[in-house]
Chains A and B, each alone.
Chain A
Amino acid sequence: MSITEPLSQTLPNRVIPVLGILALALVWLLDLGTIQPNRIVPGAGHGLLAAVGWTGAGLVAGVLAAAILVSILPLRQRYGLLLGLIGLSLAMMPLLLDVFATRHLPEDSPYARSSIGAGFWCLLFLLSLMLIEILGRLRASRWLQLLLLVMMGGSWVVLLQSDGLESLSLVREFNARSDKFQQALWTHLALALGAVTISAGLAFALALKMIRSPTWQRPLLGAVSFLQTIPSLAVFGLLIAPLSALSSAFPMLQSLGIRGIGWAPALLALIAYSLLPMVRNTFVAITDVPENLADAARGMGMNERQVFFQLKLPLALPVIIEGVRITTIQAIGLTAVAALIGAGGFGSFIFQGLGQAAMDLVLLGALPTIALALLADALLTMLAASLRPTPATA
């Protein structure tokens, strides 16, 4: 298909116009934001025009229309232009909220707060889809993608710290518990990464055992996939009784903080869950190294140890890292569930918020969890790509 490759850059793009029209429709139909008199009372919604006035609405519509035009006009530098346009719009999106808050927030009520509406989320989502499409067509390298992500994240952080957005309820919730937020972040990371590290060590040993003694393959794989099948809530629940029995029987464990609820059952469950993807990927990766390569190595005088460390392990590493990636993403998500048994982390914001019907507190837990998962995904994908023995084709 080498003949059609250069064409894809110059041919009109049908995906971006579809997304653009959808975004135009949704951003005009749905509320961009709401104003709440206080934390709990539901607020009044404002559409795009009401929220940011003719200038703001015109700018949003203009950007979307421009994106549609650029994607269908016969341009050589189509995707470069689109990348600039969409990237800049995404980075500037908090400004919309800023304008909205300054226009609508009553001056005299200190409890009033602004929240993000469905229209804003839809616009954010569709612009992100456009960005993904553009990066795909440009065949952007992972480094460029990461750079973009950092730039956008940076601009959001800077903009969200501006005065106008102090009224944003998400920011308020954050400011009210910035200490707790940091603590939650560290707990979340410690639990998830701790579980991944421990299970990586365990899984490596199990995989080696399976390679040495093939009779262990079926029972071991069966056992770890059985663990994976049981839903997380059930595993957390089932661990409570035996662990509390243990801790009341051995006071020493209790002084270490090992109880029926808290970090101990959470960590145990997370390790159990992490085993399947780790063991499977490690085992498959090492056994998939072609035997003729190993024979060649042995034939030239390497001993088994050298074959393993100089040939099999380096070739297997990208697949093993892929296992680590899956495991890490999964562990970050499950740690949020573990908040139900008192393990802390971002999940505690989510469930607290759900209990109090405080939606912005829910967001304060959910958004960082997603961000952590995406970040782990990006970093580990890059790591696996850079470890690939033969450079991936451009």
Chain B
Amino acid sequence: MRAWLPAVLLAALLCGLSVGMPVLEPLFQWVQPDKQRVIYERESFVFLLQNHLLLVVVSAAVGTIVAVAGGIFATRPFGRDFLPLVSQVASIGQTFPPVAVLALVVPVLGFGEAPILLALILYGLLPILRNTLAGLEGINPSVREAALGMGMSPVQVLIRVELPLAGRVILAGIRTSVTINIATAAIGSTIGARTLGDPVIAGLVNGNTAYVLQGAVLIGLLALMTDSLFEAIERTWDSAWFKATQHLRTEKPR
């Protein structure tokens, strides 16, 4: 249970701040004495937080489904031909800077939430795809051989053996993807998504450091909360599947 505590505390802090930002007005007045308005009011922080989260959650969910399905396809006998290309694309794609991907979407699809969502999905599925492939390919071949040889059907091998064994690596991929997408969604403010990046951009445009701070703190908190949430999920996963072998696992570099 203690593993979840940091995530819960950070979530509480995040919600509290986004509801009660006006309470801190004196503080921001001190930071930015020369401006009349020091609390960002064009949209409520709660709305921006919601929207930001929604973008990230939807893109992570769709990205995970597509990437895991793609990873499974490319490692089955009928899809093996595509494996080299898919893994190359997954690794070359990650070389593309997220900002550039976001910028490329606009000429093709225009401004707004839908293009951003598409960009987040496409870019976010690459680390998941890469980890899915690594997880499935990393399984000791003798395990698969034994499972088939003992009479499991290919579907049973996939569901009962391969996915549980690759799950931890796939989860790490989802974590990377979500971390990147929280940051990219914030930059999405510049192409018309309403996220916690809005106050930052507005502040930069108007020279209002207070706005910038408010946005930046909330984005930072959101990222930290999500990260500690994943930390907790990974720990729970480890203790559920490999109770006995926890001491054998070292911290996996992401």
Query: A residues touching B (Cβ–Cβ < 8 Å)?
Result: 13-15, 18, 118, 121, 129, 132-133, 136-137, 226, 229-238, 240-241, 244, 260-261, 280, 284, 329, 332-334, 336-337, 340-341, 347, 350-351, 353-354, 357, 359-360, 362-363, 365-367, 369-370, 373-374, 377
Contacts and interface: CB of A to CB of B under 8 A. Distances in A.
Given A132-B89, A365-B103, A341 B204 contact: yes
A244 B33 CA distance: 14
Main secondary structure of the interface of B (DSSP, over half): helix
B183 interface: yes
Given A332-B97, A362-B106, 5 more contacts: A133-B85, A231-B182, A340-B204, A341-B204, A354-B190
Contacts of B179: 229
Given A13-B81, A366-B104, A238 B217 contact: yes
Contacts of B216: 233-238
A233 B183 contact: yes
Interface in B200-218: 200-201, 203-204, 209, 212-213, 215-217
Interface of B: 31, 81-82, 84-85, 88-89, 92, 95-100, 103-104, 106-108, 111, 179, 182-183, 186-187, 190-191, 197, 200-201, 203-204, 209, 212-213, 215-217, 219-220, 223-224, 227, 253
Given A238-B216, A362-B103, A336 B97 contact: yes
A364 B100 CA distance: 10
A341 B96 CA distance: 22
Contact of B219 (A226, A234, A367): A234
Contacts of A236: 216
9 contacts: A232-B187, A234-B216, A237-B200, A244-B209, A340-B201, A359-B107, A363-B107, A369-B99, A370-B96
A332 B95 CA distance: 10
A231 B100 contact: no
B121 to A, nearest CB: 17
A234 B200 contact: yes
B215 A237 contact: yes
A136 B87 CA distance: 11
Minimum-distance CB pairs A-B, first 10: A333-B97, A237-B216, A231-B183, A359-B107, A234-B219, A366-B103, A234-B216, A237-B212, A366-B100, A234-B220
Given A132-B89, A237-B203, A229 B227 contact: yes
A241 B209 contact: yes
Contacts of A341: 204
A118 B201 CA distance: 30
A270 to B, nearest CB: 13
B95 A230 contact: no
A329 B99 contact: no
Given A241-B213, A362-B103, A132 B204 contact: no
B223 A336 contact: no
Contact of A336 (B84, B100, B182, B219): B100
Contacts of B82: 14-15, 18
A280 B183 contact: no
Contact of B223 (A136, A229, A359): A229
Contacts of B203: 237
B103 A233 contact: no
Nearest to A231: B183
A131 to B, nearest CB: 10
A136 B203 CA distance: 48
B95 A377 contact: yes
B97 A234 contact: no
Contacts of B107: 359-360, 362-363
Given A234-B217, A237-B203, A369 B100 contact: yes
Interface centre among B85, B99, B213, B215 (most CB of A within 10 A): B99
Contact of A373 (B95, B106, B200, B209): B95
Q: Find the residue from B81, B84, B107 having the highest chain A CB count within 10 A.
A: B107
A370 B219 contact: no
Contact of B89 (A129, A234, A350): A129
A160 to B, nearest CB: 18
Contacts of B212: 237, 240-241
Contact of B31 (A121, A241, A359): A241
Contacts of B97: 329, 332-334, 336, 369-370, 373
A351 B190 CA distance: 7
Nearest to B219: A234
Given A231-B223, A233-B186, A373-B95, A136 B85 contact: yes
A234 B186 contact: yes
A336 B96 CA distance: 12
Contacts of B224: 226, 229-230
Contacts of B95: 329, 373-374, 377
A380 to B, nearest CB: 11
A121 B108 contact: yes
B220 A230 contact: yes
Contacts of B84: 133, 136-137
B78 to A, nearest CB: 9
